[in-house]
Structure 1
Amino acid sequence: MRPLRQLMLAALALAAACHAQAEAPPVASFFNNPAFNGAMLSPNGRYLAAFVGAGGQRDGLAVVDLSDMSAHMVAQFRDTDIGRAQWVNNERLLFSTVDKSVARRDVRFGPGLFAVDRDGKRFRQLARRNTPFIQSGDSGRDMLPWHTFMLDQAGAQDSEEVYVSDAGIEGAGILVSSDLLRLNTRTSITHTVGHPGVARGWLLDQHGRPRLVETLDKNIESIHYLDPATEQWRTLASFDAYTGGGGFEPLAFGPDGTLYVTSRAGRDRSALYRYDLVHGKLADKPMVELEGFDFSGHLVISNNRLLGVRVHGDAEGTAWFDADMKALQATVDTLLPGTINLITPPSRPETPWVLVLSYSDKQPQRTMVFNTETKRMSEVGNVAPQIKPADMGSRELVHYTARDGLDIPAWLTLPPGGKDKNLPMVVLVHGGPFMRGGSWNWNADAQFLATRGYAVLEPEFRGSVGFGDAHFRAGWKQWGLKMQDDVADGTRWAIAQGTADAKRICIAGASYGGYATLMGLINDPDLYRCGVDWVGVTDIDLLYDSGWRYASDLPQGWKQYGMPALIGDRVKDAAQLQATSPLRQAARVTQPLLLAYGGADVRVPITHGLKFYDAVKAGNPNVEWIEYPEEGHGWALPKNRIDFWTRVEHFLDKNIGAH
């Protein structure tokens, strides 16, 4: 498959291409909580469930009858928001809650678990919200414990029962196990599912029954299959959970019981394969592979047929196998030109309605329903309705060559208005770092900076996933070294291209991106005029041990097996970790710096920021410190997101001013 972005180029001539805006959109339009948070069709396609909040009320769960477009709220609370939901069957919904009014420090309740009919009747609480540390008037004796969670799989959707996870959680929210329960949403009766080992993940089969379980023993992950012929578990594969090596990732069971998995199969990039459960091996050839990317996606199944595969290359899209779906895609694309349009049919359709998610680099995601008979398209909601595509900049996937010859992908977002040369630039480094950073879509952070006049470069430096095994492994033990060089090489590439003004470049990022910001200021002081680090790591030793006062949610297994191999061993690599510690080299940071940390962060505890701030301010008068006491690893509250990005805007304007 060719990258989806290439296929869209001809359709992207929006009226905004040469739009010269008089005033940038306000900060809140990028960083407020959306009033609309997604929708999903019932199995038969007659109803649409949507997460909505309006008029200062908490996010509720509404159901739309698509036959007449009538809508009503079926569940809403005064003290919390509805966060997740799924259809149990055509008449009933399962949902949990999340309190969007508080940040991590002030979270007092679990998500709970609830069920309600689509008409709002027969409401039932299935799992408690209150933890053992929170007392309430409701004893909840007939309810499941607070650590009962929904699966991310819908299941059969043909009875009153669902499968849910009974999560084993330790310390600061560390998941140590995930047992499975079959739950009746009418009666609350449960049955435990037996399994080998310490379960960490489950996969339901085409009938909605548990068929695979992933277990973890120290650093060894094993995949077990419940053989329907014997009703006994047998092991399909075992491999190192942190460094991989010959393993595969179960994706889904097809309508005929075929197991689909993602695997590298000895090649650099992963692809989608069929797995032979009888002989325990992959098919000889991949079913779907993407040019330039590891496979990422899911199956699209409707009416007991595999219609296609949702894929994520440079953008998300769909590889359709079904001729009718290919024709439908063409029809929808004609109605919605200039956007990627993702079509999802109901699982057991009785109506002509399908769900359509539409987006581009300039258009935030819109959710619509489309009637395949009448060709009627109706918009349901928009995640950022105040954003006008005409006011946004363009976003492209670019490539440059690192100093050792490695190809580095990167996302380049340019300001609206057409100017693309000699721009002030922000190098935005993604967190993780062993994750994929970006995609061709509307990105709030990058577009906010672009609308302020900045070019934004987001490198997919070595160690980033999604671009092949060699690219990923090239980043092992390269914090502050070759990973950092990749970021600097991308900066110099943008200067050589004429995109960036060499005298007006700032580096910024969160978490690992915050670490890379500080190391960028240390390693390449000639490149960066300033830096913005939020919730950033300042010393790798502190990741291993942040002190008795500060909780951490990094699992012990990751510290024992993953970090020594991928980041650095505290003993064997002690000299390297010291040489690549921003904290130990804080005196070398002389450029203006904005630091922001959350007081309740358990991923990168605030001790990282406090120690670095104390060390750097002794010799650098241009350091600004922001602390959000209630926040964790990132900003959960809109007021803090708006405050932070307003401060970033002023900081950048002062130091590399776009205007």
Structure 2
Amino acid sequence: MPTKYLHALLLVLMTVLAAPAVAQSPQAAPAPAAAKTPPAPLTAADYGRLPFIAMPRISPDGTSLSGLINVNGEQVIAILNIFNNADNPVYLKVPEGTQIGYIRWVNKDNMLVGAYALLPVEGERWTVSRLFAVNRVSKKVTRLMWDQNGQGSSALWTASDGSPNILMETQNSIYLGENFWPAVYKVDVETGKRTLVVKGRTEVMDWYADGTGNVRVGVAYTEANRKFRLVYRGPEGGLFKTIDAADSRKQEVLTRPFLFIPGTSRAMVMRDNEQGLTAVYEVDLATQQDVRTVYTAPAGSEVDDVRISADGATLLGVSYSGKTSGVVWFDPLLDSVQKAIDQSVPDKRAWIVSMSADRSRMLIVIDRADSPGALYFFDINGSKMQRVSTFNEKLGTRPLNPVKLVRYKARDGLEIEAVLTLPKDRPAKNLPIVMLPHGGPWAQDTLDYDYWAQFIASRGYVVLQPNFRGSTGYGTEFMRKGEGQMGLAMQDDITDGLNWAVKEGLADPKRACIVGASYGGYAAMWGIAKEPDLYRCAVSIAGVSNLRREVNDFGDALLGGKYKDDWKRMSPDFAAISPINAIPRIRAPLLLIHGKKDITVDYVQSDSMYGKMRAAGKQVELVPLPLADHHFRREADRVLLLSSIEGFLAKHNPADPLPTR
């Protein structure tokens, strides 16, 4: 980007993003200050609002915006004209029980949507995925290959020449056999017409195509020996041959390509470096030899995502997280834009989340750990920057409760990083505390805005989110330290975080509760069983109470054996660390919250725990949410979740009143 354009961009950004200042003439006498009415306290309904937009995407020509828009507390699929929202907008209600996995543009007029739902199949509940296309002009919805009888369909390539063509991989049967293994079709998203490109191949579960739409790689899996294989063919086509294998029982991992270098046998992959941290490499697929190291994140961090050009041929940038986080653009234009934004908002984070095909128009998210932030549209050619919307109109872009990363030593000396949120307008001393372990357990809490943590902190609690051993984001070695330690050292890491907060003078050790969802819900229940006198209360949201039952739910499905192996590595004895088997030791009150549409952790996990706690005479409450899924995508469920947590904490671990001024 020429210097003059960079300067112009800085001026535009400063005008749009800077807080307005009101000047007063020095000659004028100051007017008497009007009495201010204190703003009404923010409520669970304010914090629990669905974001104005999720999955924002800009069309290839840069004129339309798509995403999941919040309309009266429900997410609807929408396409809007960026310059005139009233110009032929498209709104599609998401059917009850259906979840949207992704939204992407095919060309300037057609948008692709990946959806999935929990459906009854053969007397069981299966997750079934399908694709459909939406035309911006005609508003026509085209179901893509819904006549196939398999469980899953997905898109693996979209044309970049403006045509309405995609490549889809789809099954045509739920029964093992020729039609069970996904075949690849070229599909016209406007008409739904398709052409077979690659027949299904025994044990090949996933296919990968290069930027021209040539299917180049497949990933095969054999359940009997838990082995993965990579099959490959060159850019000229021909037969597929096996070039690599990995044994999941030995925790070997295939390096799957995310970008193919045009006209060559080379590709880019993400894999661990010598420090066990994810980096980007260029490899020759034909010889399985490294060509070069493309990018390694700063020390203690690893690459967590990549950004690729619309034609699939160029790596534009990477993002990384860990001890430090950020984004690096290899494209000079995008690098200049990022630097200009960062310079204009040094106290916030800016992310280019979507861009037009020529990269001249883009959507930018600007936020902070203590603010949900806002979405902006930027036009490089016109040096035009405008706010599309805040993500939460009730909260705006104001800073809420302060957030920072902290580190402490676990009892065995391992360094643990955690996210600390402190209640605003209260002295950070001897406060009640809520431990908020993340789900997964293969996950990580970061400085992303977290509406749960912010809401709880706003009620007067210190909130600590420890990235215990086994968490992602700190390399393979750190993640594998969780093996065999579920309910043991992994739980101790959470306890040690509480002890750190007490030692720092932030928290009162007699006023601690633990709240968590999914694996965090398990940790909340296990926390009050493992150390009965540590917490005054616990809240489990969609938590696993019976580990054996959870693992058995994988059943005989493809990859079920691998998933069972992964969990067995975390604990040699599920029964010994399952909260449902430790109810006699529990003394603290427990609140269970669970959605009946949860397809990740079955509702029965909370229902069974509730029944057995009641039978044992323990203090327990259950809040069933009939329409909630695992991620609480309905606003009504989010609000009820927060208000239930608020009431339970106030009852069993009340916060201090706000100090008088």
Structure 2 length-normalised TM = 0.82
Instruction: Measure, in 1, the Cα distance between the counterparts of 2:537 and 2:606.
Output: 17
Shift, 1:55, TM fit: 5.8
Matched AA of 2:43? P
Stretch moving more, 453-462 or 234-243: 234-243
Shift, 1:453, TM fit: 1.4
> What pairs up with 1:402-551 in 2 under 5 angstroms?
402-417=410-425, 419-433=427-441, 435-545=442-552
Contact 1:261 1:274 in 2 (8 A): yes
- Aligned partner of 1:342 in structure 2 is 351
Instruction: Measure, in 1, the Cα distance between the counterparts of 2:148 and 2:558.
Output: 28
- Aligned partner of 2:92 in structure 1 is 76
- Aligned partner of 2:160 in structure 1 is 156
Contact 1:62 1:71 in 2 (8 A): no
- Aligned partner of 2:220 in structure 1 is 215
Whether 1:37 aligns to 2:68 is: no
Whether 1:567 aligns to 2:568 is: yes
Shift, 1:497, TM fit: 1.4
User: Kindly, what percent of the aligned residue pairs are identical?
Assistant: 27
Instruction: Measure, in 2, the Cα distance between the counterparts of 1:420 and 1:58.
Output: 38
Whether 1:650 aligns to 2:647 is: yes
1:93 to 100, 104, 111: 111
Contact 2:390 2:396 in 1 (8 A): no
Higher relative contact order (CA 8 A, sep 6+): 1
Residue-by-residue CA offset, 1:334-380 (whole Å, 9 max, x unaligned): 4444221122574631x832221222112215322112233221122
Stretch moving more, 115-124 or 455-464: 115-124
Instruction: Measure, in 2, the Cα distance between the counterparts of 1:522 and 1:309.
Output: 42
Residue-by-residue CA offset, 1:54-94 (whole Å, 9 max, x unaligned): 4688724223265x777431353596799443222233333
Instruction: Measure, in 1, the Cα distance between the counterparts of 2:154 and 2:389.
Output: 24
* Residue aligned with 1:76, SS: strand
Contact 2:524 2:540 in 1 (8 A): yes
Instruction: Measure, in 2, the Cα distance between the counterparts of 1:626 and 1:56.
Output: 20
Whether 1:610 aligns to 2:611 is: no
Instruction: Measure, in 1, the Cα distance between the counterparts of 2:439 and 2:279.
Output: 25
Shift, 1:295, TM fit: 2.0
Contact 2:150 2:171 in 1 (8 A): no
* Residue aligned with 1:358, SS: strand
Contact 2:350 2:366 in 1 (8 A): yes
Shift, 1:98, TM fit: 7.4
Whether 1:181 aligns to 2:185 is: yes
* Residue aligned with 1:216, SS: strand
> What pairs up with 1:34-433 in 2 under 5 angstroms?
34-54=51-71, 59-64=76-81, 66=83, 71-77=87-93, 83=100, 84-95=102-113, 113-120=131-138, 124-128=142-146, 149-151=153-155, 154-156=158-160, 158-167=162-171, 178-192=182-196, 193-194=198-199, 196-218=201-223, 219-241=226-248, 244-245=251-252, 247-254=254-261, 258-283=266-291, 285=293, 287-301=295-309, 305-313=314-322, 317-343=326-352, 346=355, 348-349=357-358, 352-390=360-398, 392-417=400-425, 419-433=427-441
Going from structure 1 to structure 2, the CA distance change for 1:324 and 1:557 (only over 3 Å counts) comes to closer
Instruction: Measure, in 1, the Cα distance between the counterparts of 2:611 and 2:127.
Output: 35
Shift, 1:398, TM fit: 1.8
Residue-by-residue CA offset, 1:525-576 (whole Å, 9 max, x unaligned): 332111111222222222244xxxxxx4566465534434543599xx4xx4
Matched AA of 1:52? I
Residue-by-residue CA offset, 1:287-335 (whole Å, 9 max, x unaligned): 2324323321113436865432233446763212233333222222344
Contact 2:181 2:200 in 1 (8 A): no
Going from structure 1 to structure 2, the CA distance change for 1:556 and 1:581 (only over 3 Å counts) comes to same
What is the aligned residue count? 609
Matched AA of 1:210? V
* Residue aligned with 1:268, SS: coil
Instruction: Measure, in 2, the Cα distance between the counterparts of 1:167 and 1:466.
Output: 34
Shift, 1:243, TM fit: 5.3
Contact 2:303 2:318 in 1 (8 A): no
- Aligned partner of 2:27 in structure 1 is none
Going from structure 1 to structure 2, the CA distance change for 1:526 and 1:177 (only over 3 Å counts) comes to farther
Contact 2:150 2:172 in 1 (8 A): no
Instruction: Measure, in 1, the Cα distance between the counterparts of 2:521 and 2:267.
Output: 40
- Structure 1 unaligned regions, length at least 5: 1-11, 101-106, 129-142, 546-551
Shift, 1:511, TM fit: 2.1
Stretch moving more, 527-536 or 372-381: 372-381
Instruction: Measure, in 2, the Cα distance between the counterparts of 1:578 and 1:90.
Output: 55
Instruction: Measure, in 1, the Cα distance between the counterparts of 2:607 and 2:68.
Output: 39
- Aligned partner of 1:138 in structure 2 is none
Stretch moving more, 469-478 or 239-248: 239-248
Going from structure 1 to structure 2, the CA distance change for 1:591 and 1:484 (only over 3 Å counts) comes to same
* Residue aligned with 1:441, SS: coil
Matched AA of 2:589? P
* Residue aligned with 1:419, SS: coil
Going from structure 1 to structure 2, the CA distance change for 1:607 and 1:540 (only over 3 Å counts) comes to same
- Aligned partner of 1:3 in structure 2 is none
Matched AA of 1:358? I
Contact 2:483 2:570 in 1 (8 A): no
Instruction: Measure, in 2, the Cα distance between the counterparts of 1:541 and 1:561.
Output: 15
Going from structure 1 to structure 2, the CA distance change for 1:266 and 1:569 (only over 3 Å counts) comes to closer
Instruction: Measure, in 1, the Cα distance between the counterparts of 2:74 and 2:606.
Output: 36
Instruction: Measure, in 2, the Cα distance between the counterparts of 1:225 and 1:365.
Output: 44
Going from structure 1 to structure 2, the CA distance change for 1:207 and 1:353 (only over 3 Å counts) comes to same
Matched AA of 2:508? D
Contact 1:598 1:634 in 2 (8 A): no
Instruction: Measure, in 2, the Cα distance between the counterparts of 1:594 and 1:187.
Output: 51
Shift, 1:148, TM fit: 6.0
Instruction: Measure, in 1, the Cα distance between the counterparts of 2:471 and 2:640.
Output: 30
- Aligned partner of 1:134 in structure 2 is none
Residue-by-residue CA offset, 1:165-197 (whole Å, 9 max, x unaligned): 3147869xxxx8544321112332212323543
Residue-by-residue CA offset, 1:483-515 (whole Å, 9 max, x unaligned): 111111111111111121111110121222122
Shift, 1:600, TM fit: 4.9
Contact 2:204 2:218 in 1 (8 A): yes
* Residue aligned with 1:29, SS: helix
Instruction: Measure, in 2, the Cα distance between the counterparts of 1:36 and 1:561.
Output: 36
Contact 1:315 1:440 in 2 (8 A): no
Going from structure 1 to structure 2, the CA distance change for 1:613 and 1:513 (only over 3 Å counts) comes to same
CA RMSD of aligned residues (A): 3.6
- Aligned partner of 1:104 in structure 2 is none
Contact 2:157 2:168 in 1 (8 A): no
* Residue aligned with 2:464, SS: strand
Matched AA of 1:158? G
Contact 1:39 1:49 in 2 (8 A): yes
Matched AA of 1:182? K
- Structure 2 unaligned regions, length at least 5: 1-16, 21-36, 119-124, 657-661
Whether 1:577 aligns to 2:574 is: yes
Structure 1 length-normalised TM = 0.82
Instruction: Measure, in 2, the Cα distance between the counterparts of 1:613 and 1:54.
Output: 35
Instruction: Measure, in 1, the Cα distance between the counterparts of 2:598 and 2:139.
Output: 40
* Residue aligned with 1:429, SS: coil
Instruction: Measure, in 2, the Cα distance between the counterparts of 1:200 and 1:410.
Output: 37
Contact 2:301 2:320 in 1 (8 A): no
